[in-house]
Structure 1
Amino acid sequence: MALQQLANSLVNDLIRDHGGHYGGASITCSVYDTAWLSILVKPVDGQATWLFPCCFDYLLATQHKSGGWALGDDVADTTLNTVAALYAICKHRASKNVSNLYERIKSASQYLQDNLQRLRISGALPAGFELLLPTLLTNLEQEYDIMFEFPAKRELLKMQDERRGRFDLERLYTGSDHITLNYLEAFIGHVDFDTLRPYKVFGSMMASPSSTTAYLMNTTVWDAEAEEYLRKVIMLGPGKGNGGVPSVFPSTLFEYSWVVSTLIESGFTYTDLGPANLTSILKVLHQAFSSDSGTVGFQLGPDDIAGCVITLTKFGVAASPRQLAEKYSSSARFEMSSLSPNCRDLIAMCISDERYLYAHQIEHAARIICEAWWRGPDSFEDQRIESRHYSMMLISKALKSVIDAWCQKLLPGIPLQLLRDSIVVVFQILVRLLQAQGQDASWGGRRESTAFALITINEIASLSIVKPFLDQIKDSIQRGRTFLSKTLTCRTRPESIWIQKVSYGSSALSQAFSLAALNSSIGDASCPIQELLFEDLQAVLQPSKFFSQLPMFSSTPVWCIAAWLIEGALFQHRLGERCLDGFPQRVKQKLKYLSIIPFTWTASNIIHGAPIGPNTMLEMMAICALAYQIDDFIEIEVAHLPSSAIATLRLSIPKLFREVEFEGSETRANDEQVHSNTDEKIQNMPIANFTEPTSSWLHHQGNSDASETPNALEARFEHISRELKGIIRHLWQAPYVRTTAHHSRDQLKVTVVSFITAHLIQTEQSKLLAAQPPAEEGRHKTLVNPPSSLLTWVRTVSSDHTIGPFAVAAFCCMYGHGFDGSSSPQSNYILQDVAHHLASLCRLYNDYGSITRDRAEDNLNIINFPEFQGHPDEIALKENLASIAEYERRCLHASMAELRPLVSEKLHVALTVFCHTAEMYNQMYMLKDLTATFNKL
C-alpha cells in the first residue's frame, strides 16, 4: 500500500476512534491506573461494593510469573506499576474468593523487593514519581505491615518531603494548581476533596483515571459524573471493556495535533490526508484552542497549546503563539521538567506569521534549549518520554526552525553566537545518530526510535556543512527506511515510550512517525551558515590525511574523521575567545592550535558514546590550548630572563596565587594551611642544583640581552609576573572551580601552582643544559648533576609540565567529584595516581617526538638524563623511551581499573575519554614532532 494511502487510513482511524462526547485514546493500558480503579468501592443499598471488578480481573490476568507487572527496562516504571497492583491485591485479599491471592502477594512482594534494590534516584524520574511511590509504600506498611528497605529509600522520602513542603493548598483550592490535580492520589489525607468538585472536566480530574478515582473515593458526596467518566474510560479506552484503562483519557487533542502536524511536516499534502478528515480535526483543534482564552484542554499536558498552534498554522488557520511567548518574556530562567514544551513552543513561535513580535522570546527559548544540551547528556532527559531519540528530534526541529528563520531574514536580530551554538547542537545530534545506527540499520532495534532518528537526520541534512559526508547520510537514511518498511503494516504493540505517571505507547503516533520517516526528504542546502562558522571548509578537512595515519583510526571510515573535524571546527570561535581570555595581551597572536585540539576531544568523545557535554569539552579544549600558549610564553619571554630572575619568579608563584584567590573574596579559615602545604610542595620539588634568587639578580643578567638596562629588565620581569598572575586568575576563576567540592578545589590549587612552577623549573634546567659544552658529533648531551633520578623527574616536574595533573583535577571539578559521595581518601589518591601516570606517558611520548628539535635548541629532554648515557643511536633512544612509555601505559590501565568501583560511572567514563584524547597526542608524537607541526599551521 502506498504511503499516501496509509497516511489517509491513519487519519480515518483517528477520527473513528476519537468520536463522541468523551473522545478517545489509542494508547496502551496502564497497570498503575487500573489498580486504582480496582479498589474503588461504592455504597449500594448500604453495602460497600467493588465498583469495577473487571479492573481487578485485569490485574490478575496481567501479573507476570516473576511476580511483577508491566515488566520493562525502566526500573522506576516497573516498580510503580507493581507496587500499585500489589496494594490493590492486598485490598481485595479479605473479600475475594481467589485461592492463590496469598501466593500472588508473596511473589509480588519478592519481585518488588528485588526491583527496589536497583532503583536509583538520578537522572529524569517520571513526573510525580517522588510522590506516588512513597505514598503506596507507606500504605502497604501501615495497612498490611509489608515493609521494603532499599538503598534509595531515604533519598526518595526526602524528595517527597521537599515536594510536599512546596505544596500550596490555596493554589489547589482555587484551581490554579493543575499539577497537583493530576496527582491527587498522593495527597489523600492532606486535602479537602469536596472543594475540588468545580475543577472536573467531563467528570475527570485532569483526564487522569487514577487521580479521578482518588477524588471519588475521598469526596463525602458521591459524584455520579466522575463515576460515569470512569465507566467510559473502561468501555471507550484501549481495553474496550476488559478492565484495563489508560493513564490518560481522552488523548484526543494530543494525538490529533501530533499525528497531523507530524505527517504534514514530512511532506504529506492536504489531499493525501483527506480534506474531509482534516476539516473535522482542524475544527476540533481550533475549538479547543479558542476556548477559555486560547487554553487547550489540560488533558494533554504542557505542550498542548504549542501542538495546536503548529498544526493550525501549517494549514493556514490563525493561531497566535502569544500565550506561549508569555512564558519567555522574562529574562529569568525558569525550571522545566523536560525540554519537550520548550521545543514545541519554539517551533510554534518560529513558524508563526507573528514571529517578529516575539524575537526576544524566541531567543530566550532557543537559549534554554542550547544551554541544556551544552551542559551535557543528563541535562535534556525528558520526563514525558523515555526515548532520547525523540528528544534529539524535537531539539533539532526547534533549533533548525530558528536557523531557517534567520537564513530567510525573518529573525535578523538573533545573536550570531546563539546561532553558532545552535548549529553545534544540531550537528552533534546528526553525527551521534549516524554513528549509533546498528548493524540491522535500526536505532536500538526499535521502530519508533528508528523513525525519530530518520526524521532528525533528514531535518539536519539540509545544512551545507554536512556536504563532505552527504553520501553517508543518504546511505544511512536508505538503510533505516528499509528496516522501518518491514514493520510498517505490522499490527505490533506500540513501544511504551511515552510517560504520564507510568509509561505507555500510542499506536497512532507510532504509525505517524514511521510514515513521516519514510516520506521525509532532505531540504534545500542554500542557507548561508558557513560564513558564521569558518572561512574554508576544505581547510577544515585538510588534517584528515594526517589523522587517518594514527593507529587508533586505522579502521575508521573516512567520513567519520571528516565529521569529527567539522564538529571540532564548530568550537573554534568560542575556543578562540577562551584562549584570549587567558592571554588578553596576545589578541593579535595567531592561535596555532585551534585546528587540532578540538578534533582530539570531539573524536574521543563520540568514540566512547559522547558522555561529555559541549561545555566541558570546550573547557578542556581551552585548557589544552592554554598549555601550548604557556609553552610559547615561557619560550619567547621567560626563557630570556637571567637564571636568577627565573628562580625568583618560580618562588613567587604561590604568592601570586594567594593574591588572585583573595581578590574580591573573604579569607577562609583553612586557606593559610592550604597555601603552606602548597609552598612546602614547591620547596620539596627536585631543584637541588637550581640557581637560587639573590637580591642583586638585576645586576647579574646571565645569558639575557646584555644591552638591556636593569630598569628595562625589571620592567620586563614585572610584565611577565603580571601575565603569569593573569594566567592563574584565568584558571582559578573558571565557573567549575566555584561550584566544586572543597577537597577538589584544594587539589586544584596544588596542581595550578605545580603546573606553572614546572614550566619555570624546566626552563632553568634547559639553561643549565645549554651552558654545558657541546656534545660530540652524533651524540646528545648528558645533564651534569641532574636534580633527581629519571623516575622522580618524570613523575614530578616533567609530568606537571604537561598540564596533565592540573587538567585531571579540573576535569574532576567539572564532574562534581565528591558531591555524589564518590570522594574518599582512596579514590582521591588513585585519581592523582591516574593523573601522574597519564602525564608521565604524555611526557615520554612528547620527548620521543621532539628529540631532534630539543637537541638542536638545547631544550632539556628525558634522554639528557644519565640513565640514557651510552645510547647515542636515535633508534635505540626511541626504543627505550617507548618501552618506558609502555610501562607507564600499563600502570595507567591498572590505576583506572582500581579507580572504577570508587567513583561514579559518569566520572570514570569521562576519564576514559580523557585518557583516549591523551593517547591520540601520544600517537601523533610517534608520527612527528607535534610542536613543529603546530608551528607550520
Structure 2
Amino acid sequence: MYQTITEEAWGLIHSIATQCVSENGLGTMSPAAYDTAWVAMTEKKGEDGKSRPLFPEAYDYLKKTQADDGSWDAETSDADGIINTLAALLALKKQERQFEAARADNEKRCRAAEGALHRMLSNWDLDSTDRVGLEVLVPNLLRLLEAEGVQFDFPSRKPLMALNAAKLARLGPALTSSVQTTLIHTLEAFVGTLDFDKVKQHKMPNGSMLASPSSTAAYLMNSSSWDTEAESYLRMVFEQQSAVGHKGGFPSAFPSTLFETSWVLDILLESGFEKDDFLLADIRKLTVLLETNLKSQKGIVGFAPSSLPDADDTAKSISALKLLGWNQEVQPMLKAFETNSSFITYRGERNASSSANCNILSCLLRVSEPAKYTKQMVKCISFLSGAWKSNNGPDKWHTSVHYPMMLIAQSFVLFLNRWGKKELDMDSVPVKLIHQDIPRTLLDILSRTMRLQQDDGSWESKREVTAYAILTLAPLLGLPWIDFLKPEGIACMYRGKAYLENNRHRWREAERLWIEKTVYSSSNLSQAYCLAASKIVVPSSLMSQTVAELFPSQLTKKIAKMSGFFSMVIPFSGAPKWKLQLSLLQSANYAAALRESRYKIFPPIEKASDEKYQEYIPFTWIGCRDILSTGISAETLWEMMLVSMFNFQVDAYMETVVWEQYQDRLPALKTFIRALCSGSSEKRKRGSDTDGGPPKKILGPNGVSNSLPNATLNGDTNGTSDSISGELNNGGSVKAVNSVSKGSTSGPHHRRTDSVIGNDSKNIAKQNNGTADHAENGNGANGFKKPVASLKQKTEVLENDGVKTSEEKDRSVEEVLTKFVYFALHHPKVLQSPPSLQAWLRHELQTFLLAHITHMEDCAELPVSTDSSNGSFTWKKPRTTFFNWVRTTSADHTSCPYSFVFFLCLIGESGKDIIANVHQRYALEDACHHLATTCRQYNDFGSVVRDQEERNLNSVNFPEFDISRNGLLLNAKELNERRKIDLLTVAAYEKRCLDRVVGELETSLDARVMEKLRMFIQVTDLYGQIYIARDIGIRRMEESRGTKDITA
C-alpha cells in the first residue's frame, strides 16, 4: 500500500515510541561478526559438568556470513575486515579444538580466514586508521590467537604493539575503579590480563557491560562465578535479533534507545516535518523519555539509559527537545565535554571528532539566547574549519565523508543566519572566521558534493549517503552568493531524490556506514535520513544583506568574464559553466588572502602595475583539483598558492633589485646563495646583528611594522581580509603595489619565470629601493646568518626617503633571500619529511636561484644590436646548445623542479618516505624535468614577439631554429610563425616523454600520491596553456595603461 512520506514518517515515530517504553529498550544496529564471535565463545557448564556454547547459533551465524575469500565484513575497510576476521577466526579455532564434530568444516574455514588476514594485514596502513579502541582490540586478539597456534607477522605489527603498550600504561586502575569509562564497553580487549571479578560494579541495570554484547560475554566467561543477569542480557539481545531476522547475530551495542530516538526526531524535524505530523501521544512519550534521562543523569546522556554520557547524544537530545518546543540547560554539556580547543565526545577522549562538534554547535545555535554561547560556537567552528582544511573532513564515527559534510553545512549556515541577524555576541566572532573560514569550507563542501554525484543520481551508490548529500545541498543552495548555481544545484538535488524514490522499498535495508567497534548500520536512521531528504527543500527565505555582502555583487560579473576566458583553455574547455564559476568563486576568497600575504617575504616594487597573477594562482589549483576531483586538503592547496606567488615574486626581485645591486658581483651572489641553501652561510658581524631565530618581523610597505612569525608563513597564513574585494586586482589600501613589470629594455637581464607554479615574470621593472622589508636579526636553524638591519637603521632609511648605502642594500637583499629560503626549507612539513627528500629540495632550491644568475649572465651576453631588420634576432654564439640550455638553466629557472619537491613534502604523511626505491626517485626526477622543460617551451611560444622586442632570451633565439629556413628570406611574422611551430613540435616531444614516465610511475607509486601528482602536473600544464592563450605576466604600469584586462 502506497504511503506519503508524511505517513511513513508517522509510522517510524510511532514504532520508536512503542518500543522505547519497553523494559528492553530499542535498537536497530546491525549484527557484527566481531561481537558475534565473542558471544559464540561464551560457554556454560551443564548439569553433566560439560561446558557447551551458550549460543551455538552464533557459530552458525559466523559460518553463514563468512565471505568467499575467508574474511568477515571486510567490504567497508581493511580495519573492519581485520578485526572481524581475527575475532571470528579465534572463535572457530576454539570450537575446532573443543568440539571434534566441528573440526573438519572449521579447518577449511580457518585456513581461508588465515589467508585473508595475511593479505589484509600485509597491506594495512595503520597510520591512516582512526578507529576507537583499535590499539587495544587487535593486539589482544593477536595474542589470543598465538595461544591457539596462529601467528601473524606484518609491517604494522611493531608500531601497533607500541601503541598498545602506551595505551595500557596510561590506563592504570581505570577499569577497576568505580568511575565508568569507555573501556567498560570493550572488556574483551583485556581477556588474559584483567581480573574480571573487579569490574562487576560497572554492570548496568540490564545486566550488560555498557550495553556491549562482546564486553558482556567477555565478563561472563571470565568471571569466577556465573552471572545470571549478564546471561539474561545476552539472551534478551539474542531474542531481539532473532525477531528481526538476525538469529545468532549480535550487534556492537544494544539497546541504543536514546541514540536512535534523539537522532530520528532531530533529523525529521530539522528537514521540515512538524510535530503535528505525528501522533501527539507518541511525541509525549519520546519527550518524556529524553527529559527523564537528561534529568536523571544531571543534564548529560549516553546512547542508552544509564550508559556513559557522551556529547553527541546529549546535544542531539537537547536539540530534539528544543525542536519540539522544550528548553533544556546546556551548561552541564559544556562543563562535561569542553576542552581548550574543541569539544570531545567522551571524557578522556584522545582525538575530538567533527560530528560531535557539529552537533554541539547546532545545539547551541538553537537555544533561546545563543549570544551567551558565542565563544563556544567560535571554538567549534575554528576546530571544524581547521579539521576540514587539513584533512578534508573524515569523521571517526562514520565511514562516509558526506556525513560530516552534511553536519558542517547545516550548522555553519545556521550560524551565518544567526550572525547576519545579529543574534550573537558580534564582538566575539573573529573577522577571519566569517570572511574566510566559513565561506571557504561551505563552498568547498558545495563543490565537492555536486562533483561527486554519480550518473544514476546517487552518491556512493548508497541510499543513506545520497540522503546526506541532499541534506547538504539544501542549506548551501540558500546562500546568497551562489545564485548562478541554483538551477544546477536544485537539479542535482532532484536527481538524488529520484534515486531515493526509485529505491524507496529499500530505505530500511540500511548500509553499513556508522562506526562503533566495527562498522554497522541502523535501519531507523537510514529510513529517517531518506525521509528527511525526500521532504527537504531549498530555503526560500533570504539571508541578511550582511551575509550577502561577504561576496560583493560586482564579483559575479568579474567571475563570468574569467570563466569565459578559462572555458577556452585546456582542461576546462569542456567543463560546464557552473563548475568553472564555482571554482572561481572559491578562488576569489583565496585571492583576497594572497593579497594580504604578498609582502610576507618580498618588498613592494614601485612603478609597476598590480599583479594579475594573484587572481589566477588560486584558480589554477582549485580549478585543477575540481576538474580532476583530486582528494587533496585545502591546507596543501593554500601552501602551494603561497609558493606560486613567492615564485612570481622571487623572479621579479632577482631580475630587478638583485640585478641592480649585484650585476657586477654575480660570483659573490652565487657564493652567498650556495652558503644560504647549504645552511653554512658565513656569519657577518654587521651593526646590530645578533644571534636569534628565524625572521620574526618585517616592515610593511608603508613603513608600518608587519609582524611575521615564521610559523605564520609556514602553514597557517590565510591572509585575513575583511572582505572579498569586488576588484580582484585591487591592491587594497597599500599605495605601493608589489608587482613586476614585463620588463624595461634598458638592461640585459630581463626575463620571466614560467612555471606552473607560478612564475611568469617575463617582465621586469626597475625598483626604487626606497621601501623594503627587513627581518629581525638571527641565525637560522641550520646555522646560517640572517643579516638584518636594526630598527634604528630601518627607521633612518625610511626617514631619509629610501636612500641606502651599498652595504645596506646588500643586507636588504640577503634578508629577503634568506626569508625566502627559510620559508621553503623550514616549512613544518618539510622538516617532517625524510632527510633524502629535504636534501633533494635543498639542491633544487639552490639550482633554481643560481639559474636566475646564469640567466642574467646569458641575457647580458646577447648583442645589444643585431641584424634585426626583420624584427628578429638569433643568439649567434650561445655558450651551449638549445637542448642543454632548455633542459638545465631554462627549465630550472621555471621554479617547477623545486616546487615539485616541495609539493612532495606537503603530501607526505607523518614523515613517511613516499619514495620506495631508486627507480621511483629517478622516474620522479625525470618526470619533473620533462614537466619543467615543457612548461618553459609553452611559455616561450606565447612570448616570442615580446621577448624579441625586449631582447629577452627565448628558446627560438637559438641557432637550431634557423636550420629549417634553408636560405629562405622570411619577414618577421613568417619567421616567428615558423619558429613557433618548431618550438611546439619540440614541446610535444617533451610532453610525450613526460607521459611515458608518468605511465611508469602509475604502476609503482602509491595511488594516493599519484593522484596528487597528476594534479600538480595538470596545474603546470594549465600555466602552459594559459601562456599560449594569453600572457598573464606582470606588465609595467606604463605599458598596461589602456590595456583591456580579461578580469576587469
Normalized against structure 1, the TM-score is what? Answer: 0.90
2:907 to 795, 805, 815: 815
- Check 1:777–1:715 CA distance in 2 against 1; reply closer, same or farther (3 A cut): farther
Paired with 1:69 and 1:456, the residues of 2 have a C-alpha distance of: 33
Structure 1 unaligned regions, length at least 5: 667-689, 692-702
Is 1:532 the counterpart of 2:550 in the alignment?
yes
Paired with 1:219 and 1:149, the residues of 2 have a C-alpha distance of: 32
Query: Could you say what secondary structure the match of 1:551 adopts?
Result: coil
Partner residue in 1 for 2:478: 462
Partner residue in 1 for 2:338: 328
Partner residue in 2 for 1:877: 979
Is 1:495 the counterpart of 2:511 in the alignment?
yes
Partner residue in 1 for 2:563: 544
Name the amino acid aligned to 1:565.
L
Paired with 1:515 and 1:325, the residues of 2 have a C-alpha distance of: 31
Worse-matched range after superposition: 262-271 or 98-107 = 98-107
Partner residue in 1 for 2:686: none
1:194 to 197, 202, 221: 197
1:361 to 376, 379, 401: 376
Partner residue in 2 for 1:179: 182
Paired with 1:817 and 1:27, the residues of 2 have a C-alpha distance of: 34
1:786 to 874, 878, 882: 878
Name the amino acid aligned to 1:278.
I
- Check 1:238–1:884 CA distance in 2 against 1; reply closer, same or farther (3 A cut): farther
Query: Could you say what secondary structure the match of 1:367 adopts?
Result: helix
1:517 to 528, 533, 537: 533
Is 1:264 the counterpart of 2:269 in the alignment?
yes
1:389 to 379, 402, 419: 402
Q: Is the 8 A contact 2:299 2:330 kept in 1?
A: no
> What percent identity do the matched residue pairs reach?
30
Name the amino acid aligned to 2:898.
F
Partner residue in 2 for 1:629: 649
Partner residue in 2 for 1:293: 298
Paired with 2:841 and 2:806, the residues of 1 have a C-alpha distance of: 32
Per-residue deviation at 1:238? 6.1
Is 1:607 the counterpart of 2:627 in the alignment?
yes
Partner residue in 1 for 2:851: 758
Query: Could you say what secondary structure the match of 2:23 adopts?
Result: coil
Per-residue deviation at 1:612? 1.5
Q: Is the 8 A contact 2:341 2:383 kept in 1?
A: no
1:220 to 204, 221, 224: 224
Deviation digits for residues 403-447 of structure 1 (CA, Å, limit 9, x no counterpart): 232222223121121222121111111111111111111112210
Name the amino acid aligned to 2:410.
K
Worse-matched range after superposition: 367-376 or 406-415 = 406-415
Is 1:375 the counterpart of 2:390 in the alignment?
yes
Paired with 1:783 and 1:372, the residues of 2 have a C-alpha distance of: 54
Per-residue deviation at 1:545? 1.0
* Higher share of residues assigned helix: 1
- Check 1:659–1:148 CA distance in 2 against 1; reply closer, same or farther (3 A cut): closer
Per-residue deviation at 1:525? 4.1
1:868 to 961, 965, 968: 961
Q: Is the 8 A contact 1:849 1:926 kept in 2?
A: yes
Paired with 2:976 and 2:343, the residues of 1 have a C-alpha distance of: 60
Worse-matched range after superposition: 803-812 or 652-661 = 652-661
Deviation digits for residues 261-304 of structure 1 (CA, Å, limit 9, x no counterpart): 00000000011133221121121111112222222135475511
Deviation digits for residues 437-459 of structure 1 (CA, Å, limit 9, x no counterpart): 11111112210111011100112
- Check 1:55–1:331 CA distance in 2 against 1; reply closer, same or farther (3 A cut): closer
Show the 5 A alignment for 1:403-422: 403-411=416-424, 412=426, 413-419=428-434, 420-422=436-438
Count of aligned pairs: 896
- Check 1:777–1:793 CA distance in 2 against 1; reply closer, same or farther (3 A cut): same
Per-residue deviation at 1:802? 1.0
Per-residue deviation at 1:852? 0.9
- Check 1:317–1:96 CA distance in 2 against 1; reply closer, same or farther (3 A cut): farther
Paired with 2:1010 and 2:813, the residues of 1 have a C-alpha distance of: 38
Deviation digits for residues 784-828 of structure 1 (CA, Å, limit 9, x no counterpart): 432322122112221121110111121112123793243344433
Paired with 1:853 and 1:105, the residues of 2 have a C-alpha distance of: 74
Paired with 1:888 and 1:165, the residues of 2 have a C-alpha distance of: 57
Per-residue deviation at 1:344? 1.3
Q: Is the 8 A contact 1:325 1:358 kept in 2?
A: no
- Check 1:763–1:442 CA distance in 2 against 1; reply closer, same or farther (3 A cut): same
Is 1:210 the counterpart of 2:214 in the alignment?
yes
Is 1:352 the counterpart of 2:367 in the alignment?
yes
Normalized against structure 2, the TM-score is what? Answer: 0.80
Paired with 2:803 and 2:289, the residues of 1 have a C-alpha distance of: 86
Q: Is the 8 A contact 1:25 1:237 kept in 2?
A: no
Partner residue in 2 for 1:435: 451
Structure 2 unaligned regions, length at least 5: 345-349, 684-690, 695-747, 750-765, 769-801
Q: Is the 8 A contact 1:36 1:213 kept in 2?
A: yes
Paired with 1:178 and 1:831, the residues of 2 have a C-alpha distance of: 49
- Check 1:139–1:729 CA distance in 2 against 1; reply closer, same or farther (3 A cut): closer
Paired with 1:49 and 1:638, the residues of 2 have a C-alpha distance of: 86
Is 1:282 the counterpart of 2:287 in the alignment?
yes
1:916 to 1006, 1018, 1025: 1018
Name the amino acid aligned to 1:914.
F
Name the amino acid aligned to 1:890.
R
Query: Could you say what secondary structure the match of 2:45 adopts?
Result: strand
Show the 5 A alignment for 1:162-177: 162-166=166-170, 168-176=171-179
Partner residue in 2 for 1:671: none
2:835 to 742, 751, 763: 742
Paired with 2:840 and 2:74, the residues of 1 have a C-alpha distance of: 45
Query: Could you say what secondary structure the match of 2:1028 adopts?
Result: helix
Query: Could you say what secondary structure the match of 2:51 adopts?
Result: strand
Query: Could you say what secondary structure the match of 2:173 adopts?
Result: helix
Deviation digits for residues 550-591 of structure 1 (CA, Å, limit 9, x no counterpart): 132222111111111111112123222332212255699734
Name the amino acid aligned to 2:488.
Q
- Check 1:642–1:447 CA distance in 2 against 1; reply closer, same or farther (3 A cut): closer
Per-residue deviation at 1:616? 0.8
1:453 to 462, 466, 469: 469
- Check 1:41–1:79 CA distance in 2 against 1; reply closer, same or farther (3 A cut): same
* TM-align CA RMSD: 3.0
1:82 to 77, 82, 85: 85
Deviation digits for residues 739-777 of structure 1 (CA, Å, limit 9, x no counterpart): 3222222222222232223223323322332x4313332
Paired with 1:819 and 1:726, the residues of 2 have a C-alpha distance of: 24
Deviation digits for residues 598-629 of structure 1 (CA, Å, limit 9, x no counterpart): 11111111222232211111111111122222
Per-residue deviation at 1:903? 4.1
Query: Could you say what secondary structure the match of 1:444 adopts?
Result: coil
Show the 5 A alignment for 1:211-250: 211-237=215-241, 242-250=247-255
Show the 5 A alignment for 1:142-153: 142-143=147-148, 145-153=149-157
Paired with 1:558 and 1:639, the residues of 2 have a C-alpha distance of: 44
Partner residue in 1 for 2:923: 830
Per-residue deviation at 1:66? 4.4
Paired with 1:704 and 1:151, the residues of 2 have a C-alpha distance of: 57
Paired with 1:389 and 1:836, the residues of 2 have a C-alpha distance of: 38
Per-residue deviation at 1:533? 4.5
Query: Could you say what secondary structure the match of 2:615 adopts?
Result: coil
- Check 1:845–1:368 CA distance in 2 against 1; reply closer, same or farther (3 A cut): same
Paired with 2:564 and 2:477, the residues of 1 have a C-alpha distance of: 24
Partner residue in 2 for 1:670: none
Q: Is the 8 A contact 2:242 2:248 kept in 1?
A: no
- Check 1:66–1:859 CA distance in 2 against 1; reply closer, same or farther (3 A cut): closer
Partner residue in 1 for 2:43: 41
Q: Is the 8 A contact 2:463 2:500 kept in 1?
A: yes
Name the amino acid aligned to 2:216.
T
Q: Is the 8 A contact 1:325 1:349 kept in 2?
A: no
Query: Could you say what secondary structure the match of 1:42 adopts?
Result: strand
Q: Is the 8 A contact 2:508 2:526 kept in 1?
A: no
Is 1:309 the counterpart of 2:325 in the alignment?
no
- Check 1:116–1:818 CA distance in 2 against 1; reply closer, same or farther (3 A cut): closer
Name the amino acid aligned to 2:948.
R
